[in-house]
Chains A and B, each alone.
Chain A
Amino acid sequence: MSLPKAVYEELEKVVGSRNISDKEYVLAGNRAQTPEIPVRHRSADAIVLPGSTEEVAEIVRICRRHGVRYVGTVSGGIPTAYATEENTILIHFKRMNRILEINEKDRYAVVEPGVRHVQLYPEVRKRGLSYTAAAVGPGGSVLVNIACTGGDHHNQYGSSRPTRYLLGVEMVTPEGEILRTGSLEAGAGWFCPESAGPSLRGIVKGYSGNAGHIGIVTKCAIALDRCKGPAATRTEGVSPHSRIYMDDECSRVYVFNYSSIQDVGRAMLALGESEVGATVQKYFYLPLSLMMTSSANEFWEKWDGFRKAFPMPLVVHLAPHSVREREYEEKILFDVVRETGGVRLPRELERWWEEHMDYFMIVSRLQSVLRLGGSWLPIKTGGESVRHLCDIGDSIREFIHDFTDTGKIFDAPQNYQIIPMEYGHFASFELLFMWDRTDPNSFRYMQEFCAASRETDLKHHAHSMTAGGYGRAGEALGRLYCDCHLWAGRIRHSFDPDFDPDA
């Protein structure tokens, strides 16, 4: 179904004829299925490219007036970035790709939605600064990553989850109004996310993002931290066949293997109490093995050895201010590892981490993970204390072997990561599983696996993930989480009167 001509013309007046299209070849390019997402995307009826917040607001008002749905998108890395129903347009932010400000003194950057990590990260890095963003790769949108979706960062042990770094926000509400939050709403600039009183920051993002349901974020400020690690790195080759050189005496990477997740947790907490390390993570060994090899054949040659060598790797990056402090941190690290039963990996394996330090910053090798030609899905993407998440890690064995031993999913039962944040005050979790997407039953297996995971968590009343969904649609889980689906439905309805929480 195509967009009514009158609506198309109204939108065209806002963005100009070069920035709107309903041509099939343009729409097809914006619904292309990515291999890891096991669904075909519906085609939008048109795509518009606004150039400013005011144009976004006008587009939203036109859509509302004519009952046209819209979906905002930048990199299309998540299923919610596509049309799911008829009579929908895509609002693509590729023209709104300006870094509006990098304020070194107040330590924030202001960006539009189209700014990718590959644009912003080098700019802040050369100023000696950094930021945390979910590890989506250099092509991901900074704004979407931090303001609109969930997600955790591999480097958040010595900092925090990206959500902590969202400051002032400008957004277009479903009624087409331009709302500003935090210090911005009082005319005091971008630096503070909180309102004077009940904070509107609370409607922008919770544990997860709200996928544009409360509004389209058109500008946001993100807080900047000191860049930990070398200020500059010498590189060789072209990604993914590249390496970097750790020329800095203050930067070291160590990797240890453990046989028990509870021991990993003890190590994380002990390191956190001493505030030692810039990065500490229990990484998943399957993607790691894929990233450490350069072809599917090489992976299959080495996988058996890798899975025995590091089924439960604890990765530690030390990045202190001086060599003396590095030696102090190494002393504590090795004490902790000895007390908790860790075994250091052979140097040739450990060296891979050192030579791919960009992994800690913004993952540029993630695509290697899809080399086997399967699909993947992250589940249990929640956060809690290190103690609780280690218990959840332990509970995975209660159900996963029914799937790994029967070939329904890839046989990698320890393939989950735990990344502490704020020096171990809490952590994030992710169970990543892969399956053969050419198997006609694979979609059903995937659903069964997700259900088994959920049943196990509920049996233990474990907080492995947050509850989402608005109104009646979120009832199944929401009723177990203080009826949060009802409150979420009311909030959404108050900002989008067209949304019916009882539907």
Chain B
Amino acid sequence: MLYPKTTEEVREMILAARHSGGGLVPVSSGPPHFHGASVNPNAETLDLSRMDRVMAIDRRSRYVRVEAGVTFGDLLPQLAAHGLRLNLPFLPRPSKSAVASALEREAVLMPKYQYDYPDPLLTVETVFGTGDVFRTGSAAGPGTMEENTSDKVIPWGPGPFDYYRFLGAAQGTIGVVTWATLKAEVAPSASRLFFIGSASPDPLLDLAGKLLLDRVPDECVLLDRTAFSMAFAEPGQEDALRAALAPWTLLCRVCGYERYPEERVDIYGGYVADACAAFGLTAETEPPFPVDPAQIERMLTDCDRRDTYWKLRRGDERELLTLVPPSAAPAVLAEMSASQPDAGFIVSPQVQGRAFRIECGLYFEPDPRQAEKAEETLFSLAGRLVPLGAYFDRPYGRLPELLYSDPLARGAMKRLKSIFDPDNVLNPGKLCF
């Protein structure tokens, strides 16, 4: 294990690996690790947890710049103190690196703020596999990081290429990202959380699409009752909460900001109610759950700070992540839930409702045989989802076996790899490399 503290140390370690012919795999989040991207028997681990500086929080231009080792648990309270918030994934663990979450294109909860799939990632500094330090977008220049007087927030470029896209979901195979600028949003001054239940996910998918087309909700996520109860129930209360839930619940939160916040909440709450009525659904603000709705709302805007991370309530978990367009979502979800009726499902509308990220989680007692069986089950399921329109853009574990069938696209990726990591130092053997 290597523990760099500075970009220069990362650079030296990469150059040393190039010289020795060894491999390096960067990791920036603390345990538990779920996807295996940072597990590589052919590489030393480059642990970035000591790179934990919050470099800038800017309320006026609404961004935060953090080193790779800064976790949600540390960052969120600091942002709140500045009246800002992040576009978070659903109830992440506190040890999750904010930079890694954005780089991995984790599902975000507020799709109205997501204009493009890499959002909220803006600019990054990276050390390529060559050992060269590079900054993307407007952080590139002119001049050094200290000389450049811009806020370094424009993600595109420099020039005719989007370098930050080479690094996203690349599992550390192109460069080691040492810091990133992330888009932050104004923290609301008022809000109202709606619970919209349904026996089937299909009307809720359509409702989410309609609401997001009109840019109504801030947070918007669809859960089945297994995932809902695992996430929000008090210990020992999972079954009671599950029994009180509809099979599927859309959580939809409307917000007001600094000026006339209550008025906005009233207006936008009305839009939610109107849309629900049009779909034959009901939006409730105080459902008869054995959990306080206010607590659910607080949890939606934070990481999971309880002793046991919600996905590990039964001890262990394996998950399958896929991305689908709205037209394919019902069929993909139907196949997943028919195949795995005991799984937990999180369906996150993305990019203003133009796609859904679906997470299918299998929860079980810690047991290597169970884990192996779960992995095999999910891989087999993934194979059946491809013809239904599922796209595995974050291919962990064995999923690369289902991808890269287009030799030209695979060759193009390898050309990029050979430019930025010619000696295959970074996470060797991952993806199609």
Contact = CB atoms under 8 A, between A and B. Distances in A.
Interface in A328-374: 328, 331-332, 335
A335 B142 contact: no
A235 interface: no
Given A488-B161, A494-B415, A159 B115 contact: yes
Interface string A275-302: 1000000000000000000000000000
Contact of B215 (A103, A209, A226): A226
Interface in A165-220: 165, 177-181, 183, 185-189, 191-203, 205-211, 213-214
The listed residue with most A CB atoms (<10 A of its CB), out of B118, B159, B399, is: B159
Given A463-B148, A482-B141, A200 B409 contact: yes
B134 interface: yes
Contacts of A193: 116-117
B297 interface: no
Nearest to B402: A186
A485 B173 CA distance: 22
A475 interface: no
B355 interface: yes
Contact of A185 (B113, B117, B400, B406): B406
B431 to A, nearest CB: 4
A245 interface: no
B300 interface: no
Interface in A101-137: 103, 105-108
A242 B134 CA distance: 51
A462 B157 CA distance: 16
Given A185-B406, A275-B257, A202 B165 contact: yes
- Chain A CB count within 10 A is highest, among B151, B174, B325, for B325
B326 A106 contact: yes
Interface string B145-183: 001111111101111111111111111011000000001
For B63, B147, B156, B355, the residue with the greatest tally of chain A CB atoms inside 10 Å of its CB is B156
Contacts of B328: 189
Contacts of A397: none
A487 B418 CA distance: 12
Contacts of A203: 161, 412, 416
A20 interface: no
Contact of A181 (B117, B409, B431): B409
Q: Which of A188, A203, A273 has the most B CB atoms < 10 Å from its CB?
A: A188
A225 interface: yes
Interface string A453-496: 00001101111001111000010011011111101101100110
A63 interface: no
- Chain B: number of interface residues, binned into ranges: 35 or more
A96 interface: no
Given A192-B355, A468-B160, A199 B165 contact: yes
B259 A467 contact: no
A197 B173 contact: yes
A213 B352 CA distance: 32
Interface stretch (A253-261, A378-386, A434-442): A378-386
B154 to A, nearest CB: 5
B313 interface: no
B311 interface: no
Contact of B159 (A106, A187, A467): A467
A387 B150 CA distance: 9
B143 interface: yes
B102 to A, nearest CB: 13
Interface stretch (B40-48, B263-271, B366-374): B263-271
Q: Taking each of B115, B258, B413, B432, which has the highest tally of chain A beta carbons within 10 Å of its own beta carbon?
A: B115
A103 B132 CA distance: 43
A98 interface: no
A197 B142 contact: no
B138 interface: yes
Interface stretch (B190-198, B242-250, B388-396): B388-396
Contact of A385 (B151, B170, B173, B404): B151
Contact of A108 (B116, B353, B354): B354
B331 to A, nearest CB: 13
B108 to A, nearest CB: 14
A269 B260 CA distance: 16
Nearest to A494: B415
Given A103-B327, A384-B154, A160 B431 contact: no
A416 interface: no
Interface string B104-130: 010000000101111000000000000
B38 to A, nearest CB: 15
A32 to B, nearest CB: 27
Contacts, number: 298
Contact of A491 (B62, B186, B386, B419): B419
Contact of B163 (A164, A202, A209, A211): A202
A163 interface: yes
A206 B326 contact: no
Q: Which of B147, B150, B165 has the most CB of A within 10 A?
A: B150
Interface residues of A, number: 96
Given A194-B117, A484-B140, A186 B158 contact: no
B147 to A, nearest CB: 5
Most buried by A among B157, B386, B391, B419: B157
A331 B415 contact: no
Given A177-B408, A196-B395, A491-B161, A384 B260 contact: no
Given A194-B168, A226-B214, A211 B160 contact: yes
Contacts of A225: 213, 352
A66 interface: no
Contact of A186 (B143, B160, B391, B394): B391
B166 A202 contact: yes
A457 B164 CA distance: 25
A163 B141 contact: no
B195 to A, nearest CB: 23
A228 B142 CA distance: 37
B165 A328 contact: no
B166 A186 contact: no
B156 A206 contact: yes
A384 B412 contact: no
A18 interface: no
A179 B415 CA distance: 13
Contacts of A180: 406, 408-409
A210 B409 contact: no
Contacts of A325: 267
Contact of A480 (B143, B258, B386): B143
A300 B381 CA distance: 71
B406 A160 contact: no
B176 to A, nearest CB: 14
Contacts of A177: 408
A332 B259 contact: yes
Contacts of B160: 205-211, 213-214, 468, 488
B405 interface: yes
Contacts of B263: 328
Interface of A: 103, 105-108, 159-161, 163-165, 177-181, 183, 185-189, 191-203, 205-211, 213-214, 223, 225-226, 269, 273-275, 321-322, 324-325, 328, 331-332, 335, 382-388, 391, 422, 424-426, 457-458, 460-463, 466-469, 474, 477-478, 480-485, 487-488, 490-491, 494-495
11 contacts: A194-B168, A195-B169, A225-B352, A226-B214, A274-B257, A385-B63, A387-B60, A463-B138, A466-B158, A467-B158, A484-B134
Given A194-B393, A198-B165, 14 more contacts: A107-B213, A183-B393, A192-B391, A199-B169, A201-B165, A205-B156, A206-B163, A382-B154, A425-B183, A461-B147, A461-B148, A463-B148, A468-B159, A491-B416
Q: Which 6 A-B pairs have the closest CB atoms?
A: A207-B157, A481-B141, A202-B165, A210-B160, A188-B391, A463-B150
